[in-house]
């Protein structure tokens, strides 16, 4: 909505009565959170690894944008300096949060990939581990595996997957994290990292809205 020459006042619309209401300080952060949730849904429903990788990269960008908008909402508050210290320390030192930030920076400013594709394959596992496994013959040609005469054995196909890698930016580097806020995390599924980062910043937003208002 334009309010006078050269000035724009952002408003939201109360659809129940058609009355425009001023946007809250954290409205853009909340909108960014909605964007993140949509991208997380796309990541989980991706049909190809390339699609999942692109969603992953977009999530990194949106997570950092979420923090920037939280910070932007409150940086002029007299109490911001005292409240922000914990979050700034976590972003700099927590293995997961620092990794997410550096991965985003590397994605934006670097040329190296922030995720790699782990090729698929196969495994032959015993059905009963207390008994011997026998395979009479095994051959591979043109990507086709032929196995004959298996005893106490099962063939397991391993699909290609995405794997986190060390990220680098401006002389610094971060390995994939194994903990977050002092607790171990399982990175078998990269979604775990994204959800943990989301949870951290959502909690920060909730706490700051309670302390400093919306």
Each of the 214 residues of the chain gets a pLDDT tens digit; together they read 333 444 433 333 343 444 555 578 999 999 999 999 999 999 999 999 999 999 999 999 999 999 999 999 999 999 999 999 999 999 999 999 999 999 999 988 877 888 888 776 667 788 888 888 877 777 777 767 777 777 887 877 767 778 899 999 988 899 999 999 999 998 777 899 999 999 999 999 999 999 999 8
Whether this prediction's pTM lies above 0.85 is answered by no
**Both tokens of residue 213?**
């208002």
Phi-psi map region of 171: left, alpha, beta (phi>0 left; psi -120 to 50 alpha): left
Q: What does the longest C-alpha to C-alpha distance in the chain come to? A: 85
**Tokens coding 144:** 């086709």
Helix, strand, coil content of the chain in percent (nearest 5): 45, 25, 30
Helix then strand count (H, E) for the chain reads 5, 12
d(CA 28, CA 38): 15
């Amino acid at each position: 909505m334009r309010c006078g020459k050269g000035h724009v006042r952002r408003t939201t619309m109360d659809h129940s009565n058609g009355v425009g209401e001023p946007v809250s300080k954290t409205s853009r952060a909340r909108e960014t959170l909605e964007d993140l949730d949509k991208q997380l849904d796309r990541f989980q429903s991706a049909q190809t690894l390339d699609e999942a990788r692109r969603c992953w990269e977009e999530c990194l960008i949106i997570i950092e944008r979420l923090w920037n908008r939280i910070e932007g909402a409150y940086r002029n508050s007299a109490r911001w300096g005292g409240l922000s210290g914990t979050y700034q320390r976590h972003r700099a030192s927590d293995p997961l949060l620092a990794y997410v930030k550096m991965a985003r920076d590397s994605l934006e400013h670097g040329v190296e990939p922030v995720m790699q594709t782990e090729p698929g394959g196969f495994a032959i596992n015993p059905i009963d581990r207390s008994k011997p496994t026998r395979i009479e013959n095994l051959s591979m040609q043109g990507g086709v595996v032929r196995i004959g005469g298996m005893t106490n054995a099962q063939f397991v196909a391993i699909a290609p997957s995405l794997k986190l890698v060390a990220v680098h930016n401006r002389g610094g580097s971060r390995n994939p994290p194994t903990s977050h806020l002092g607790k171990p995390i399982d990175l078998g599924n990269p979604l775990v990292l994204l959800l943990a980062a989301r949870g951290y910043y959502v909690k920060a937003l909730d706490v700051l809205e309670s302390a400093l208002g919306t």
